[in-house]
């Protein structure tokens, strides 16, 4: 590959809802440009950017993947992002590494949840955006509807610069509004060859309408142009394009194109527009960064090279290959084999085998210029979201904010003894995918994994097996129930044994009383007159605590209570710490029964965001989950519902919410407090716990 300087580079993230045709589009663009030699397909598992075994098997994108095309003396780096929201972290990383977004909207489905979400992500970053209406050849394709959908749901600043000739199975050409020419595609064409003809007479009226709209909208963004336009002067194609590019940069115009990637119709025009309208990294304002080791902000000038700085936007760990690191050069040029520095980790890294990426292929290059995307393998200690710079100029650039995990499940290994392997592998997987988290919960004795959705966690389980040879499966997380007392009672615990020689003797009287929620455990020693010698009192306390840990209702730890030891007796010879501990245990068991023990369950504070249309069903579902609705309020286009819901009822909630709201609803949950469970629930939990204990016994 030839060398591309900063001004000849375009970094474009291809974003949109699942199955809108992003991967097919990236493949077609690379094929039509001649950069890749074969026109792959998602269905056959041969698409350029869906190459991992997971993706080939499932036929949708899971990972952010890179390709590049060489077109019109420029190199366009394309970042193919997954549309499924479970993998939003990858898509966000893709946007972060790009300078512009190509928002793909299916001509058959119009604007969907994923389109809206990625649109907002791009908007937050103030990125120039272009629309591409995909699948124009598909049954029920409707260009007008897609355009109207975008105007109504995303932005009124969208403006078509192309219109299709025919739709669905009839789709066979595209009229270019700038050139006022029509491309009629040759049937059976492999790389989008066309005949260029005049605008067909039956399309003249439609062309005039769209052309008028285009030119007016462009003129509106530029005072000089509008004056000339109103004065009846002609505006040239170049002037219009320049104004459009400037308008895109200011977020005032979003051009819309269309085509069919499967048939390769419209690919050439789209490539040309990406080159002409998307910004080069040299067009960007300086980036705010921080000098490492000082609080001083520094400006990273991207246009003029400067010292080397790069941001790592993705790492993939391959156990037998080592880690592959993908980065974007923010400033400076980079030569193969360069020594760089990861300042926060104090790690010197050598960038060997500097490569450009085309799907799964990595082609070594001697150097890359500022703004370009590259990859290297086998770095020592560099992870996703790190900054690479130089020892002479150590800096750190802002990190990408990763989406928070939404669901939590337990993971269980098949083979006993693989737990260590599991935690090493989970750590590696977290490093490559920061939206995936894990932790071991001692309280419930399970490893918990957290992610964006069930699909996400299933993919992680697949990777565990494929990459690390750990066979595991997802399981229902155990709920950390607790118990407490609602009443007060007192009673005796007496441990007395006479077996031949020295006996055992311990005797105590205790009172149990509830404490406010969250107080924990309190022990009160009110023994007077030495009826229990001082040295044995801690043993009574210990016995009570031991028994409390084993529960009074369903075998869960008893919390928030006070135990008072107020009377007892001892024996000069037979008393011992052991005997008094036993007495404590017996006393607790006897008194706990009489102190109205109850089961407590964790309650989550939940915020659900749902569209108005599904509000009734979402609330009904929450009530069915024993949810207590606290209130609702409008939040943009969605309604926010605040509710308290028992954790045990939240299992698979994300799947349910997704299905009720057709993917539009989201939620956020966090632990709020422990509350008493209704008796019927407590009885069920106790029965389950008993069964579990029996099974454990059997295994022994």
Q: Using CB positions, name the residue nearest to ligand GTP.
A: 83
Partnered with residue 563 across adjacent β-strands are: 512, 523
Residues within window 106-125 making contact with ligand GTP, judged by CB under 6 A: none
Q: Which is nearer to Mg ion, 104 or 449 (CB)?
A: 104
The percent helix, strand, coil of the chain (3-state, each to 5) is: 30, 35, 35
Q: Which of 23, 545, 595, 661 binds Mg ion (CB under 5 A)?
A: 23
Dihedral pair phi/psi, residue 528, rounded to 5°: -125, 155
Under DSSP, the state recorded for 470 is: -
Under DSSP, the state recorded for 64 is: -
Partner whose binding site includes residue 24, from ligand GTP, Mg ion, none (CB under 5 to 8 Å by kind): ligand GTP
Partner whose binding site includes residue 134, from Mg ion, ligand GTP, none (CB under 5 to 8 Å by kind): ligand GTP
Could you tell me the smallest distance in angstroms from the CB atom of residue 23 to Mg ion?
3
Under DSSP, the state recorded for 187 is: T
Could you tell me the smallest distance in angstroms from the CB atom of residue 196 to ligand GTP?
22
Tokens linked to 596: 């109205």
Q: Which is nearer to ligand GTP, 39 or 302 (CB)?
A: 39
Could you tell me the smallest distance in angstroms from the CB atom of residue 48 to Mg ion?
10
Residue among 261, 303, 244 at smallest CA distance from 78: 261
261 binds ligand GTP (CB under 6 A): yes
13 binds ligand GTP (CB under 6 A): no
Residues within window 346-385 making contact with Mg ion, judged by CB under 5 A: none
Checking phi first, is residue 587 left (phi over 0); if not, alpha (psi -120 to 50) or beta? alpha
First to last CA, the chain: 64
Residues within window 34-63 making contact with Mg ion, judged by CB under 5 A: 61
State the Cα torsion 343-347-353-357 to the nearest 10°. Answer: -50
What DSSP letter does each residue of 219-288 carry, written as one string? Answer: HHT-HHHHHHHHTT----HHHHHHHHHHHHHTTS-EEEEE-BTTTTBTHHHHHHHHHHHSPPGGGSPPEE
Could you tell me the smallest distance in angstroms from the CB atom of residue 70 to ligand GTP?
22
Q: Which is nearer to ligand GTP, 105 or 274 (CB)?
A: 105
328 binds ligand GTP (CB under 6 A): no
**Cβ–Cβ < 8 Å for 331, 308:** yes
386 binds ligand GTP (CB under 6 A): no
CA-to-CA distance for 189 and 264, rounded, in angstroms?
A: 8
Partner whose binding site includes residue 19, from Mg ion, ligand GTP, none (CB under 5 to 8 Å by kind): ligand GTP
- Per-residue mark of binding to Mg ion, 380-419 (x: CB under 5 A): ----------------------------------------
Could you tell me the smallest distance in angstroms from the CB atom of residue 106 to ligand GTP?
8
Q: Which is nearer to Mg ion, 65 or 396 (CB)?
A: 65
**Cβ–Cβ < 8 Å for 631, 524:** no
Q: Which of 40, 83, 89, 266 binds ligand GTP (CB under 6 A)?
A: 83
Cα 85 from chain centroid (whole Å): 7
Partner whose binding site includes residue 137, from Mg ion, ligand GTP, none (CB under 5 to 8 Å by kind): ligand GTP
User: Contact region for ligand GTP (CB under 6 A) — 38-46, 164-172, 293-301, 653-661?
Assistant: 38-46
Could you tell me the smallest distance in angstroms from the CB atom of residue 290 to ligand GTP?
35
CA-to-CA distance for 412 and 473, rounded, in angstroms?
A: 5
Query: Can you give the binding site for ligand GTP, defined by CB under 6 A?
Result: 16, 18-24, 41-43, 60-61, 82-84, 134-135, 137-138, 260-262
């Amino acid at each position: 590959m030839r060398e591309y300087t900063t001004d000849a580079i375009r970094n474009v993230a291809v974003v949109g809802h699942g199955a809108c045709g992003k991967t097919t589009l990236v493949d077609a663009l690379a094929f039509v440009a001649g950069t890749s030699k074969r026109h792959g397909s998602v269905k056959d598992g041969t698409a350029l950017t869906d190459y991992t075994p997971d993706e080939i098997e499932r036929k949708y994108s899971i990972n952010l993947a890179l390709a590049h095309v060489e077109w019109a003396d420029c190199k366009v780096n394309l970042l193919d992002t997954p549309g499924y929201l479970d993998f939003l972290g990858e898509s966000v990383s893709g946007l972060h590494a790009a300078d512009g977004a190509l928002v793909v909207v299916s001509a058959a489905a119009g604007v969907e949840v994923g389109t809206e979400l990625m649109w907002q992500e791009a908007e937050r970053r103030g990125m120039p955006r272009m629309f591409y209406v995909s699948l124009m050849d598909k049954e029920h394709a409707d260009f007008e509807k897609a355009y109207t959908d975008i105007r109504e749901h995303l932005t009124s600043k969208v403006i078509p610069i192309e219109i299709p000739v025919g739709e669905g199975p009839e789709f066979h050409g595209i009229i270019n509004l700038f050139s006022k020419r029509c491309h009629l595609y040759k049937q059976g064409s492999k790389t989008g060859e066309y005949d260029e003809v005049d605008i067909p007479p039956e399309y003249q009226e439609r062309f005039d309408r769209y052309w008028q709209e285009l030119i007016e909208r462009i003129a509106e963004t530029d005072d000089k142009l509008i004056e000339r336009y109103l004065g009846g002067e002609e505006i040239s194609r170049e002037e219009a394009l320049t104004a459009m590019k400037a308008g895109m940069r200011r977020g005032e115009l979003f051009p819309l194109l269309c085509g069919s990637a499967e048939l390769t119709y419209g690919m050439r025009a789209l490539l040309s527009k990406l080159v002409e309208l998307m910004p080069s990294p040299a067009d960007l304002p300086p980036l705010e960064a921080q000098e490492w080791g000082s609080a001083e902000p520094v400006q990273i000038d991207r246009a003029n090279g400067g010292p080397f700085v790069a941001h790592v936007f993705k790492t993939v760990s391959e156990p037998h290959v080592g880690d592959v690191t993908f980065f974007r050069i923010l400033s400076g040029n980079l030569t193969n084999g360069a020594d760089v520095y990861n300042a926060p980790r104090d790690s010197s890294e050598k960038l060997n085998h500097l490569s450009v990426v085309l799907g799964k292929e990595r082609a070594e290059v001697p150097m890359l210029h500022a703004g370009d995307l590259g990859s290297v393998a086998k770095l020592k200690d560099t992870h996703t979201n790190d900054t690479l710079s130089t020892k002479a100029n150590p800096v750190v650039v802002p990190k990408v904010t990763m989406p928070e995990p939404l669901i939590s499940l337990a993971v269980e290994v098949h083979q006993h003894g693989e737990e260590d392997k599991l935690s090493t592998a989970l750590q590696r997987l977290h490093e490559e995918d920061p939206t995936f988290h894990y932790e071991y919960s001692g309280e419930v004795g399970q490893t918990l994994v957290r992610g964006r959705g069930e699909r996400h966690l299933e993919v992680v389980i697949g990777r565990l097996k494929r990459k690390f040879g750990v066979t595991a499966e997802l399981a229902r997380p155990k709920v950390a129930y607790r118990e407490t007392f609602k009443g007060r009672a007192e009673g005796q615990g007496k441990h007395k044994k006479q077996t031949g020689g020295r006996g055992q003797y311990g005797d105590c009287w205790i009172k149990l009383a509830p404490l406010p929620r969250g107080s924990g455990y309190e022990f009160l020693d009110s023994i007077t007159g030495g009826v229990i010698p001082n040295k044995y009192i801690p043993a009574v306390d210990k016995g009570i605590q031991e028994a409390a840990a084993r529960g009074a209702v369903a075998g869960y730890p008893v919390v928030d209570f006070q135990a008072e030891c107020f009377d007892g007796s001892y024996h000069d010879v037979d008393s011992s710490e052991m005997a008094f501990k036993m007495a404590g245990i017996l006393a607790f068991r006897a008194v706990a029964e009489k102190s109205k023990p109850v089961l407590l369950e964790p309650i989550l504070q939940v915020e659900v965001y749902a569209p108005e249309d599904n509000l009734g069903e979402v609330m009904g579902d929450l009530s069915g989950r024993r949810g207590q609705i606290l209130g609702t309020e409008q939040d943009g286009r969605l309604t926010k519902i605040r509710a308290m819901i028992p954790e045990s009822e939240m299992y698979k909630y994300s799947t349910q919410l997704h299905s009720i709201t057709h993917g539009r609803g989201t939620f956020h949950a966090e632990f709020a407090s422990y509350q008493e469970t209704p008796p019927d629930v407590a009885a069920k939990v106790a029965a389950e716990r008993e069964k579990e204990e029996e099974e454990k016994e059997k295994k022994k």
